[in-house]
């Protein structure tokens, strides 16, 4: 059984152009995975997602195991069929959201017992259960269960947690069933401590995974701290496997992480921002609710080819958002995902052409130039 495979196609400094071949299709890296929490990337049809260039979506095991339930999804043919997304799906382990959303959690070496935030029902999530649920979902890429502690400088807390995550990694590997084109990723922990990060990745590499994720970042630390962790960690990561920075991030976070050798990203920012009136543009973020847009006939971003930008004015989208019309989040979500995917496409192209440094310099110049002048 050949699992999913990763191939480096080009290097530019630490940055890598690559591709991941999976059971459900190819992923060009660096890639951005829109978040489809509960079996839907909020406000987007899969056919629209494909038009943005999205190749892989993320599903949240915590949400899906509670509602509609992994057995139900399995009975309905798996998550791909359920949500009409035939492409690759990566699912998280559920651990992160148990910690942030559920009630009455009890964490132990075995796993975590928690109550559903929806109906109070009790669940027992262990590394084995998490892998098994993700298999029922028919997830293309399964994530190990890990513990993701809050941002802290307490070395003892971080070390203890990192070592338990390593033991959970081993249990996850033991319970994962190899299938053609599927994969299991281990998760590096260790907070902001370089020695722990190194210990973690070495332990994971010894167990052996189809890809390695970096967890425990973007949890409140400054961007430069995150970049320093990447600078220390990435040289120790296997070169022949994809590297996934979990839950990251802003366009600037992604550009910085790609230049440091990260291949995969996921983040709720483009979708969540789209529901609060925020739009990403080549000249920075704007809030479309601002009255300066009320009479502006120009698009959000004149270089963007999404429907929000080709068919509508800022004035119209401002009106939709002010009027709480569903089409507002629909258009802004589409635009924001398009913006992220255009950015990933541009990053891949510049790595392929060994022009990444130039691209990054232009990216920051443009981002810092400020929004278009008031109409």
- For residues 167 and 211, the answer to whether their CB atoms sit within 8 Å is no
Cα atoms in the Cβ-side hemisphere of radius 13 Å centred on 282: 18
Cβ-based neighbours of 100, under 8 Å, separated by 6 or more: none
φ, ψ of residue 313 to 5 degrees: the values are: -90, 160
Q: At its nearest, how many Å lie between a copy of itself and the CB of residue 64?
A: 9
92 is catalytic: yes
Stretch of residues binding a copy of itself (CB under 8 A), selected from 34-42, 202-210, 243-251, 338-346: 34-42
Residue of 268, 297, 273, 271 lying closest to 284 (CA atoms): 273
Q: Does 316 bind a copy of itself (CB under 8 A)?
A: yes
306 vs 347, which CB is nearer to a copy of itself? 306
Q: Does 47 bind a copy of itself (CB under 8 A)?
A: yes
The conformation of residue 300, written as its DSSP 8-state character, comes to S
Active-site residue identified among 92, 146, 301, 342 = 92
Cα atoms in the Cβ-side hemisphere of radius 13 Å centred on 127: 24
261 vs 299, which CB is nearer to a copy of itself? 299
Choice from 279, 329, 332, 348 touching a copy of itself (CB under 8 A): 329
Q: Which helix (H) or strand (E) holds 171?
A: helix 155-175
Stretch of residues binding a copy of itself (CB under 8 A), selected from 68-76, 122-130, 133-141, 258-266: 68-76
> How far is it, in rounded angstroms, from Cα 359 to Cα 375?
29
296 is catalytic: no
Q: Does 40 bind a copy of itself (CB under 8 A)?
A: yes
Choice from 326, 368, 373, 374 touching a copy of itself (CB under 8 A): 326
In 108-182, the DSSP E strands lie at 112-115, 122-125, 141-143
Interface ranges with a copy of itself (CB under 8 A) = 38-40, 42-47, 67-68, 72, 75-77, 82-84, 294-295, 297, 307, 311-313, 315-316, 318-320, 322-323, 325-327, 329-330
**Active site residues per annotation:** 92, 266
């Amino acid at each position: 059984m050949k699992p999913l495979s990763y191939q480096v196609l080009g290097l530019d400094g630490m940055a890598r152009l690559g591709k991941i071949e999976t059971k459900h299709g190819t992923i060009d890296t660096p890639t951005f995975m829109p978040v489809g929490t509960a079996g839907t990337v909020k406000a987007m049809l899969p056919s629209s997602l494909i038009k943005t260039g999205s190749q892989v979506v993320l599903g949240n095991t915590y949400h899906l195991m509670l509602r509609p339930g992994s057995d139900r999804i399995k009975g309905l043919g798996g998550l791909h069929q359920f949500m009409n997304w035939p492409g690759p799906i990566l699912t998280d382990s559920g651990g992160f959201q148990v910690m942030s959303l559920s009630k009455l959690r009890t964490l132990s070496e075995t796993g975590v017992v928690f109550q559903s935030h929806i109906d109070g029902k009790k669940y027992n999530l262990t590394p084995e259960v998490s892998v098994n649920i993700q298999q029922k979902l028919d997830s293309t890429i399964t994530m190990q269960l890990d513990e993701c502690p809050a941002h802290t400088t307490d070395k003892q807390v971080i070390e203890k947690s990192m070592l338990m995550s390593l033991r959970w990694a081993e249990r996850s590997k033991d319970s994962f069933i190899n299938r053609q084109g599927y994969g299991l990723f281990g998760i590096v922990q260790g907070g902001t401590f370089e020695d722990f990060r190194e210990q973690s990745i070495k332990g994971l590499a010894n167990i052996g995974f189809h890809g390695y994720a970096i967890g425990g970042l973007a949890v409140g630390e400054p961007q430069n701290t995150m970049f320093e962790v990447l600078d220390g960690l990435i040289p120790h990561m296997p070169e022949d496997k994809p590297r996934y920075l979990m839950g990251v991030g802003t366009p600037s976070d992604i550009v910085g992480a790609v230049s440091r050798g990260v291949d995969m990203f996921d983040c709720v920012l483009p979708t969540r921002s789209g529901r609060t009136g925020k739009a990403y543009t080549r000249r920075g973020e704007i809030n479309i609710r601002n009255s300066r847009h009320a009479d502006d006939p120009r698009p959000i971003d004149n270089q963007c080819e999404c429907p929000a930008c080709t068919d509508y004015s800022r004035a119209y989208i401002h009106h939709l958002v002010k009027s709480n019309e569903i089409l507002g989040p629909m258009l802004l979500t589409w635009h924001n995902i398009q913006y992220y995917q255009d950015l990933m496409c541009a990053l891949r192209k510049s790595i392929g052409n060994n022009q990444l440094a130039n691209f990054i310099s232009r990216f920051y110049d443009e981002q810092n130039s400020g929004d278009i002048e008031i109409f």
